[in-house]
Amino acid sequence: MSGAKKVKDDIAQRAAVLMHGAAEVISLPELEQRLKLGRPLRIKLGLDPTAPDLHLGHSLVLKKLRDFQRDGHTVIFLVGDFTAMIGDPTGRSETRKPLTREEISTNAETYRSQAFKILDPDRTEVRFNSEWMDEMGVRRLIQLAARQSVARMLERDDFEKRLEAEEPLFLHELLYPLIQAYDSVALGADVELGGTDQKFNLLVGRDLQRSMSHEPQIVMTMPLLEGLDGVRKMSKSLGNYVGITESADEMFGKLMSVSDTLMLRYYELLTDTPTAEIEKIRKHEIHPMEAKKRLAETIITEYHGAAAARAARHHFESRFQRGEIPRDAQVFRIASALWICELMKQLKFAPSTSEARRLLGQGAVRVDGKTITDVNFRFVPGEHEVIEVGKRRVARIKP
RNA sequence: GGAGAGGUUCCCGAGUGGCCAAAGGGAGCAGACUGUAAAUCUGCCGGCUUAUGCCUUCGGAGGUUCGAAUCCUCCCCUCUCCA
Q: Per-residue pLDDT tens for A362-371?
A: 999 999 988 9
Q: Which residue is nearest to nucleotide B45 (CA to C1')?
A: A355
Q: Is the distance between the Cβ of A252 and the closest atom of strand B smaller than 7 Å?
A: yes
C-beta within 7 A of nucleic chain B, residues 170-199 of A = 170
* Å from the A167 CA to the B58 C1': 21
CB atoms within 10 A of CB A232: 12
Domains located in chain A, CATH noted: 3-222 (3.40.50.620), 248-321 (1.10.240.10), 330-398 (3.10.290.10)
Residue A94, pLDDT above cutoff 70? no
- Through-space separation of residue A395 CA and nucleotide B83 C1' in angstroms: 68
Band (A239; pLDDT cuts 50, 70, 90): confident
Question: pLDDT for A28-79, tens place per residue?
Answer: 889 999 998 889 999 999 988 876 788 999 999 999 999 999 999 999 999 9
DSSP string, A65-96: HHHHHHTTPEEEEEE-HHHHHH---TT-SSPP
pLDDT for A92 beyond 60: no
The overall average pLDDT reported for chain A is: 88
Specify whether the CB–CB gap between A38 and A10 falls below 8 A: no
Is the pLDDT confidence value at A267 over 90?
yes
Q: H or E stretch including A308? A: helix A306-316
pLDDT of residue A4: 65
Nucleotide with C1' nearest the A167 CA: B79
Residue A41: DSSP 8-state: P
Distance A166 CA to B63 C1' (A): 34
**CA to C1' distance (Å), from A366 to B65:** 51
- Rounded Cα distance, A71 and A51, in Å: 30
pLDDT at A100: 73
Q: Which nucleotide is nearest to A254 (CA to C1')?
A: B36
**Beta pairing class for A218-222 and A330-333:** unpaired
Check if the beta carbon of residue A360 is closer than 8 Å to that of residue A343: no
Mean pLDDT of A294-311: 94
Question: Any atom of strand B under 7 A from CB of A346?
Answer: no
Query: CB A325: neighbour CB atoms within 10 A?
Result: 15
Q: Kindly report, residue by residue over A4-31, the tens digit of the pLDDT.
A: 666 667 888 888 888 888 899 988 889 9
A176 CA vs B83 C1’ separation (Å): 30
Confidence (pTM): 0.84
Could you tell me the distance in Å between the CA of residue A346 and the C1' of nucleotide B56? Answer: 23
Residue A196 predicted with pLDDT over 70? yes
Q: Is the pLDDT of residue A276 over 80?
A: yes
Q: What is the pLDDT of residues A368-393, one digit of tens each?
A: 988 998 989 999 998 999 999 998 89
Q: Provide the positions of strand B that have an atom within 7 A of a protein CB.
A: 27-31, 35-39, 43-51, 78-80
- CB of A227 under 7 A from strand B? no
Query: Closest nucleotide (CA of A389 to C1')?
Result: B30
Burial of A351 from C-beta contacts in 10 A (0-12 / 13-18 / 19+): exposed
- Any atom of strand B under 7 A from CB of A215? no
Top-confidence residue, A105 or A92: A105
The band of A87, judged by pLDDT with boundaries at 50, 70 and 90, is: low
Please tell me which residue, A100 or A222, carries the higher pLDDT value. Answer: A222
Window 357-376 of chain A: CB closer than 7 A to strand B: 357-359, 362-364, 375-376
Helix and strand counts by DSSP (H, E) for chain A: 17, 13
State the pLDDT at residue A190: 95
